[in-house]
Chain A
């Protein structure tokens, strides 16, 4: 088991290095940072001096190692657009995105699993079929349309909930939270539903199909033949076996919430990292793009590691 986890950690580090390479390649080959950082009135001396300062005259590998080392220290360079350190900008924006993603994750996971199990065991029921049909519409509705729809209903027509921004926030050290004010909480409702709905339908459909697959297995038939009540079969035998494949996919899904937040943040003008990234793409602000990419991949890799550990906890076959 230890070797399994060790191997996963090694793989994770490899993934991070590859992502780092992609991010670094973006730096090196796209546009010329000198062009971006120096104004129109520049001399060859300025260019050479900056080139030396940034280490651009060194070989590729040396630059890459330096890039990784400084990234490890939280140094991602300076934004072309804003002229401030990228790390600082990201730190300001991160709480908004992380709070939004966390609320959406709880929403998507709890509702997704419950509805998935329900639709799997009441296969022929009216409610189950209705939920299933609605879920297909949910998958077919692009996230931004869901957001617009919710805004139209709850902000424009009913005027119950705010249509943009985070509301009032409270600063706790370097972290700004919207959990402590009522306007902050109401502002979270629409965006987190928008962000979580798609993941929720995916999780639900996955739980349902895996559960139905498990219900066809011989050990479920055998459990029935031994006279075990349906309740025990569903929740003890089937659900646990369903969880093995569900956990992997769910881990990935929840990780992707942070990236999917880009769309939701645009629709709701939510001041998070996603909005920052979209602006960065439009301005080809490479340092911001690269840093965002690195940050997201660190989060993904972290989530994947947790998933792997959960895997081992659930499946005894991996423990030996």
Chain B
């Protein structure tokens, strides 16, 4: 049997095929990720290029012709005449990039520290987990804001916009390593007691090979679940920070920045500026969350 057939025949793949929620949310998430990835190909203009914008096109409703220029836009335009459709595609690129990068950063730190804390125990464990406890007393969004504020204090004013994305990744990533560390530490404590680890020590294997070759592969499934849920949380966190005006700059709007702009026109009737970015954000977060929820159930043998 080929690797593919083995996978296709596994309980995991079977569960997936027989869960409409999982299939649909996977397809939606995939579609959104792909359209973000290929935004330059499917967008009508590049909204980050100031030369492409025409202020005269501002506030064009979806599907209607602009009174001055005669152009029409499938999802309308915002206050600066940016095509909402293209802006959403490019905004999603930023949202997803920040989300993935932040989760990768949090995962790298969290998994490493969790493995080390769980396996070595003692003082190493105590120090790492106390730091985690302290950080956990603060909601991650507050931690992210603080890191953002501190980083802002450090960066010279003229670079702030350029570095904003990286500061976002850093602040969201550093705010969610704790989840990974706690779960991996817990799983490592369980695995460490198992006799296959004792057997490896008996052969004379050192700590590094045992951690990487033996324990890590066995703690990956909870990590996968946390990573998926964290991705949804990171996307939401990025949107929230940008909405609060402490995230992506308005020259490079992410979904949250777009919603922030759109909120100003809620009372004056230009609903589309707010609605389409919000719907996209919800679709993205919901599909990833549903996938994570399904994964948690599918990978939890106790629920079977």
Contact = CB atoms under 8 A, between A and B. Distances in A.
The reply, when asked whether chain A contacts chain B directly with Cβ atoms under 8 A, is yes
B41 interface: no
A296 B266 contact: no
Interface in B137-153: 137-139, 141-142, 145-146, 148-150, 152-153
Contacts of A220: none
B134 interface: yes
A196 interface: no
Contacts of B274: 148
A278 B244 CA distance: 8
Contacts of A267: 263
Interface stretch (B83-91, B193-201, B284-292): B284-292
B293 interface: yes
A280 B153 CA distance: 11
Interface stretch (B49-57, B213-221, B235-243): B235-243
A266 B290 CA distance: 28
Contact of A282 (B232, B239, B246): B246
B22 to A, nearest CB: 13
Interface string B261-281: 001001100000010001001
A137 B285 CA distance: 9
B245 interface: yes
Contacts of B243: 142, 144, 263, 266
B179 to A, nearest CB: 13
B244 A266 contact: yes
B246 A297 contact: no
A284 B151 CA distance: 10
Contacts of A24: none
B150 A26 contact: yes
A156 B266 contact: yes
Contacts of B153: 26, 30-31, 284, 286
A278 to B, nearest CB: 6
B273 to A, nearest CB: 12
Contacts, number: 107
Interface stretch (A89-97, A110-118, A237-245, A253-261): A253-261
A145 B281 contact: yes
Contacts of A278: 244-246
Interface residues of A, number: 45
A282 B245 CA distance: 8
Nearest to B297: A209
Contacts of A213: 302
Contacts of B150: 26, 30
Interface in A23-55: 26, 30-31
Contacts of B288: 140
Interface in A237-290: 252, 255-256, 259-260, 262-263, 266-267, 277-278, 280-282, 284, 286, 289
B249 to A, nearest CB: 13
Contacts of B263: 148, 267
B290 A284 contact: no
Interface residue SS majority, chain B: helix
B212 interface: no
Contacts of B240: 142-144, 263
Contacts of A281: 145, 148-149, 152, 246
A297 B243 CA distance: 25
Nearest to B284: A140
Contacts of B137: 15, 252, 255, 297, 300-301, 304
B154 interface: yes
Nearest to A278: B244
A18 interface: yes
Contact of A297 (B130, B138, B245, B290): B138
Interface of A: 14-15, 18-19, 26, 30-31, 136-137, 139-145, 148, 151-152, 156, 213, 216, 252, 255-256, 259-260, 262-263, 266-267, 277-278, 280-282, 284, 286, 289, 293, 296-297, 300-301, 304
26 contacts: A136-B289, A136-B290, A136-B293, A137-B282, A139-B232, A140-B286, A142-B236, A142-B243, A142-B281, A255-B137, A259-B138, A259-B141, A262-B141, A262-B145, A263-B141, A263-B240, A263-B244, A266-B243, A278-B245, A280-B149, A281-B148, A281-B149, A281-B246, A289-B146, A289-B149, A297-B138
